[in-house]
A and B are shown apart, each in its own frame.
Chain A
């Protein structure tokens, strides 16, 4: 089975700062890592490859630096990685991101299954997986927590629903996004790390992907971030003192005053 895993390189630390001069994110000098939820997609992709004697290709969109995360993915056990990089992609929203990924997946050849993480920890939209499926014209299942059966023409997956779980059969090719419960990611092997170091990671730009630069990036995206700001934080915490009895009484008083209960 030919599996494609889409990953995102994100700031390794969740604390972020705003450049006071430009009012935009100060991203310089921040350590970056594979988006944690994507590691479950990567691990599942590698497991499918091992079961079906297939191939795992990892894709990411980002600057030259994102090459590190792709090599890390190869260290985990991915076979190939492709960096989708072009100044024109900068500032792409979820629509433009899925547009670029769809073009790259079509260019990369025949595929059976695309795996994505539930969402990124920076943008937190959870939109790229389903948008990518639609852009590819293939089916999509969200919040998959178990792959029950891998067939030639379809797969059976368990997904989280409002009431519990649903077993869904999805025709291939298709896209799924996965949740943490699906597996426990492995640790890269020493051999894997050696392979990753020497691996060739091709870079595809907008022209090679046949992408009109006018429809991607901050200028071409359907949505635009007009402004970023820090949320207003309520003042310091009010610490309730005294013995447990008194603490509980104070709390109930406060909660009743604010009509929280």
Chain B
């Protein structure tokens, strides 16, 4: 692969229960537009077995769909995924590899990059084609979202980027579009894995995952005690939102760490973020300030959360939040 042109654009299409995630569809849509700008091709690369919606991947913009359909020994496949992607990339030489910034982006993708002797632009929020230099320009936040950087790959190929959920909106499928299905048989048992899954603990009962949620309802120290999380949990439920929190409630044992948003927790960027009783320490803002719409409810008018809020409500969250839940429930039947 030479350094001019984008070459084939691969999107790692992630599935859950056989269905491709919305973020992967959105990424395929973005890749399609980029490919149209520079006359490249788009391939969706499915790592999982039994992809129920493989045809849809073409409708959303993939010219080719790779189905890496080897036997899956268990729910932990990092070592196999790395080997498969590296082998496939060496064979078919994509110019660009895109993936979402979730679990794969924090483990498999960086390992693939090193094996292919290239880098990663991580957690990007936008991807643009620089026609003059014929390269991809990746935009990513740093310093807790207070700074943006344009990252480029001057020479190395493939250009690899991980992209945050909600960075792009899922487009409309075009059912007339057909894609070539390429089945890649791969015996995952042949990989000499140095890691092995021993046990799975499904202890997250939440239906909505924090990193992927379109709406996040966050409860902070202002809730006062663990029992009061019920009122934000109810609001989250009626909105179909994920439940988040700031650091103090986790440190006080009110709610598990998996819900923590911020510098030492998760970074989220939903369409709507509702902060209830969250003061807005810089460490918390770092994990959520790139959200599209931020609603802040706090009794302290000087709380820093209001500086990043789209809509601010100074008042008693114990009155405002249940009222909001009630009115939403009424209109939603």
A binding-site residues for B, Cβ under 8 Å: 13-16, 18, 25, 36-37, 93-95, 98, 118, 121-127, 130-131, 133-135, 138-143, 145, 156, 158, 160-171, 174, 179-181, 221-231, 234, 237-240, 244-245, 247-249, 251-252, 254-255, 258, 260-261
In the bound complex, residues from chain A placing their C-beta under 8 Å from that of B282 are: 13-15
Assess A121 versus B106: contact at CB under 8 Å? Given A16-B143, A133-B111, A134-B111: no
In the bound complex, residues from chain A placing their C-beta under 8 Å from that of B314 are: 239
Q: Does B176 contact A (CB under 8 A)?
A: no
Q: Separation in Å of the A211 CB from the closest CB of chain B?
A: 15
**A124, closest chain B residue (CB):** B142
In the bound complex, residues from chain B placing their C-beta under 8 Å from that of A252 are: 324, 327-328, 331
In the bound complex, residues from chain A placing their C-beta under 8 Å from that of B78 are: 140
The complex places the Cα of A238 from the Cα of B314 at a distance, in Å, of 11
Q: How many A-B residue pairs have CB under 8 A?
A: 243
> Which of B29-37, B224-232, B305-313 contacts the other chain?
B305-313
* Residue pair A228, B272 in contact (C-beta under 8 Å): no
**5 interchain pairs, CB-CB under 8 A:** A168-B196, A170-B195, A222-B156, A223-B151, A231-B290
Which secondary structure characterizes the binding site on chain A? mixed
In the bound complex, residues from chain A placing their C-beta under 8 Å from that of B260 are: 180
**Can you add 11 more A-B contacts, CB < 8 Å, to A15-B146, A164-B201, A254-B311?**
A14-B263, A16-B146, A98-B114, A124-B123, A127-B106, A138-B194, A166-B201, A168-B195, A223-B121, A231-B290, A260-B293
Q: Does B265 contact A (CB under 8 A)?
A: yes
Q: Separation in Å of the A110 CB from the closest CB of chain B?
A: 17
* Residue pair B122, A127 in contact (C-beta under 8 Å): yes
In the bound complex, residues from chain A placing their C-beta under 8 Å from that of B267 are: 124
Bitwise interface map of B from 90 to 124 toward A, beta carbon under 8 Å scored 1, else 0: 00000000000011001110110111011111110
* Residue pair A180, B265 in contact (C-beta under 8 Å): yes
Q: Separation in Å of the A29 CB from the closest CB of chain B?
A: 17
* Residue pair B257, A181 in contact (C-beta under 8 Å): yes
* Residue pair A244, B319 in contact (C-beta under 8 Å): yes
In the complex, chain B residues 295-316 whose Cβ is within 8 Å of any chain A Cβ:
295-296, 306-316
> Which of B49-57, B65-73, B202-210 contacts the other chain?
B202-210
Which secondary structure characterizes the binding site on chain B? mixed
In the complex, chain B residues 112-166 whose Cβ is within 8 Å of any chain A Cβ:
113-115, 117-123, 137, 141-156
B binding-site residues for A, Cβ under 8 Å: 16, 75-76, 78-79, 82, 102-103, 106-108, 110-111, 113-115, 117-123, 137, 141-156, 193-204, 209, 215, 239, 257-258, 260, 263-265, 267, 271-272, 282-283, 286, 290, 292-293, 295-296, 306-316, 319-320, 323-324, 327-328, 331
The complex places the Cα of A130 from the Cα of B123 at a distance, in Å, of 15
User: Which of A36, A240, A254, A261 is most buried by chain B, counting CB atoms within 10 A of its CB?
Assistant: A261
The complex places the Cα of A133 from the Cα of B111 at a distance, in Å, of 8
Q: Separation in Å of the A115 CB from the closest CB of chain B?
A: 15
**A121, closest chain B residue (CB):** B263
In the bound complex, residues from chain A placing their C-beta under 8 Å from that of B311 are: 237-240, 251, 254
**A123, closest chain B residue (CB):** B142
The complex places the Cα of A80 from the Cα of B151 at a distance, in Å, of 35
Q: Separation in Å of the B9 CB from the closest CB of chain A?
A: 17
Which one, B202, B203, B312, contacts A237 given CB within 8 A?
B312
In the bound complex, residues from chain A placing their C-beta under 8 Å from that of B199 are: 166-167
Q: Separation in Å of the A83 CB from the closest CB of chain B?
A: 24
| In the A-B complex, the 5 residue pairs with the closest CB atoms | A222-B119, A139-B194, A134-B114, A164-B203, A222-B156
The complex places the Cα of A128 from the Cα of B201 at a distance, in Å, of 27
The complex places the Cα of A133 from the Cα of B147 at a distance, in Å, of 29
In the bound complex, residues from chain A placing their C-beta under 8 Å from that of B257 are: 145, 179-181
Q: Separation in Å of the A19 CB from the closest CB of chain B?
A: 13
**A126, closest chain B residue (CB):** B106
Which one, A130, A160, A167, contacts B197 given CB within 8 A?
A167
In the bound complex, residues from chain A placing their C-beta under 8 Å from that of B123 are: 124-126
In the bound complex, residues from chain B placing their C-beta under 8 Å from that of A249 are: 327
In the bound complex, residues from chain A placing their C-beta under 8 Å from that of B148 are: 228-231
The complex places the Cα of A94 from the Cα of B186 at a distance, in Å, of 30
**A148, closest chain B residue (CB):** B198
Q: Separation in Å of the B257 CB from the closest CB of chain A?
A: 4
The complex places the Cα of A188 from the Cα of B251 at a distance, in Å, of 20
The complex places the Cα of A4 from the Cα of B107 at a distance, in Å, of 19
* Residue pair A14, B286 in contact (C-beta under 8 Å): yes
Assess A170 versus B194: contact at CB under 8 Å? Given A127-B122, A162-B209: yes
The complex places the Cα of A95 from the Cα of B116 at a distance, in Å, of 11
Assess A14 versus B195: contact at CB under 8 Å? Given A143-B106, A162-B103: no
Assess A142 versus B201: contact at CB under 8 Å? Given A134-B114, A228-B148: no
Q: Separation in Å of the B100 CB from the closest CB of chain A?
A: 12
